[in-house]
Amino acid sequence: MLEAMTELPMFPLGATLLPGESLPLRVFEPRYQALVQRCLATDRRFGVVLIERGSEVGGGDVRSDVGTVAEIVDHAATGAGRYSLECRGVARIRIAAWLPDDPYPRADVEPWPDAGVDGDWRAARDGVIEARERLLDLWRELAKRAGRRATPPPPLALPDDPSECSFTLATALPLSEADRYRALGAAGPVERAGVLTDAAEDVAAALRFRLQ
């Protein structure tokens, strides 16, 4: 967990990484090979932000200003300077300033922990769980009509901490990148639960349309 503003190597991606979520990476671009070498020689941490426009390869991308600290938990050199990484989202950050991309993307970042629980967290949490169950029922019905067996999801183990729980729920829902980014940027657990419930209902509406 960051405690103050600091400089971090940054890895812009075409996806949002949430705290607590796993992130596999295959690193082949020279600038990110240098980033990995720096991380392995220090604290194994870098920042991940969503690319709003542009590509992961080659630079020239437009990057979001909210991201997540990632930690390398396992790695393997795969030859020619390339790496296979297993990473984990650790904590949310805000970008204070982008620095020159030399030798890899870098930014001054500040920690952005969730605000305190403002509202009825248990009710908000249960609302997301119920929305997820409605989605599962719709998926099972779609699979049944298609003559397929619906593969049950893994058991949902929810942490007691509201912030950690809200991010765990976010990873357990089929969200668009826009909704994942909205969830990441929510002020606190109750607000995040509201984002998740609304997003789940949008997915449910699309599934009901397919069932008609």
CB 5 within 8 A of CB 110: yes
Q: Which DSSP state fits 146? A: T
- pLDDT value of position 185: 96
Report the largest interatomic distance among the alpha carbons of the chain, rounded to a whole angstrom.
56
Dump pLDDT digits (tens) for 91-139: 999 999 999 999 999 999 999 999 888 789 999 999 999 999 999 999 9
**Domains of the chain listed by start with CATH number:** 6-111 (2.30.130.40), 121-211 (no CATH)
The residues facing 92 across adjacent strands are: 68
pLDDT per residue over 48-105, tens digit each?
A: 999 987 655 555 678 899 999 999 999 999 998 899 999 999 999 999 999 999 999 9
8 Å CB contact between 174 and 203: yes
Q: What is the dihedral of CA 17, 21, 26, 31, to 10 degrees?
A: 40
Q: Tokens representing 209?
A: 């349309």
